[in-house]
Amino acid sequence: MRLVVAGSPAAAVPTLDALAAGPHEIVRVITRPASPLGRKRVITPTPVAQAAERHGIPVVEAARLADVQAELLELEVDLGVIVAYGGLVRAPLLQWPRLGWINLHFSLLPAWRGAAPVQRAIMAGEERTGATVFQLTEGLDEGDWYARLEEPIGAHRTAGALLESLSNSGAALTARVVDELAAGTAVARPQEGEVTLAPKLVREDARIHWDSPVDAVHARVRGVTPEPGAFTTIIGSDAVLKVLEAAPAREAAPLAPGRLALLDGRPLVGTASQPLELLRVQPAGKPAMPAVDWARGLDAAALPELA
């Protein structure tokens, strides 16, 4: 079959790699435009654009598919495959490929429809999630599904680590569905179950609420790591402290929410239940460091409170 693949971040690269290694022809890769990255703001192509270049596949950069509609509609395409492109596919492009579009979504649909399914599942304290390949329709992640896989979230995995795992297993799942569609053996099933939504994360989603139970605080830290990154502020200075890694300190005595204490040099912060131990942090204006190193520089007689 002749395919077009749309995607942008690193999570979409395994699917592009899997399809490029298969028997089908990828006639175009569509991705978001290159953007400035890093302290030097170097204009950098998306990870998908870089992968397409390695495979020698022509790339179309577009902030909106409508901007390149005329160019795309001239191509004869059997199937569109989309993974985290970052934009909507609307008519007439939605009906343009002979078999329409399939989408790899990182949840067990209809759970966590939207832009941040992995992050929201972790933040909600879910124990399992997965990946679903479904037929793209005009509704938000509403189409019938072809294949899915389940994966435990685990007690310590961050959104970044879980997304990396699902992007690899989901790539093989997507390639299998493409083969089945080519062979005419793919079977689509309607989505069933409770619908939940996973809207895009904003900075305020990453603020730690110390008055929540420790498992909820830990889940929020993991759900927003690495992006946008969990943070708290130090009362009295409003300085931001980024929390890069933490873990519940179930053996420690309770502390008032936001109160910082040291246990054998380990920084613990009170929550509504047990304390949370800070393992790795980044103070304002400084590089990331082990939390014990940050705590060593504090005045033990006047430890700050966090909010």
pLDDT digits (tens, 9 = 90+) for 110-136: 999 999 999 999 999 999 999 999 999
Residue 173 identity (one-letter amino acid):
L
How many residues make up the chain in this entry? 307
Per residue in 83-102, pLDDT (tens digit) is: 999 888 999 999 999 999 99
Helix axes 159-183, 13-20, angle to 10 degrees: 30
The two three-digit tokens of residue 4, written as one number: 């077009």
Ranges in the chain, pLDDT < 70: none
The predicted structure's pLDDT at residue 20: 98
108 assigned to a ligand binding site: yes
Per residue in 246-271, pLDDT (tens digit) is: 999 999 999 999 999 999 999 999 99
72 assigned to a ligand binding site: no
The C-alpha angle 6, 11, 15, rounded to 5 degrees, equals 55
The predicted structure's pLDDT at residue 86: 87
The predicted structure's pLDDT at residue 111: 98
How many alpha carbons fall within 13 Å on the CB side of residue 233? 8
190 assigned to a ligand binding site: no
The two three-digit tokens of residue 41, written as one number: 């703001």
Strands 239-248 and 231-234: antiparallel
The number of beta carbons lying within 10 Å of the beta carbon of residue 233 is 18
Cβ 159 vs Cβ 223: under 8 Å: yes
Mean pLDDT of the chain: 96
109 assigned to a ligand binding site: yes
Q: Measure the CA–CA gap between 98 and 246, rounded to whole angstroms.
A: 49
Q: Measure the CA–CA gap between 173 and 108, rounded to whole angstroms.
A: 13
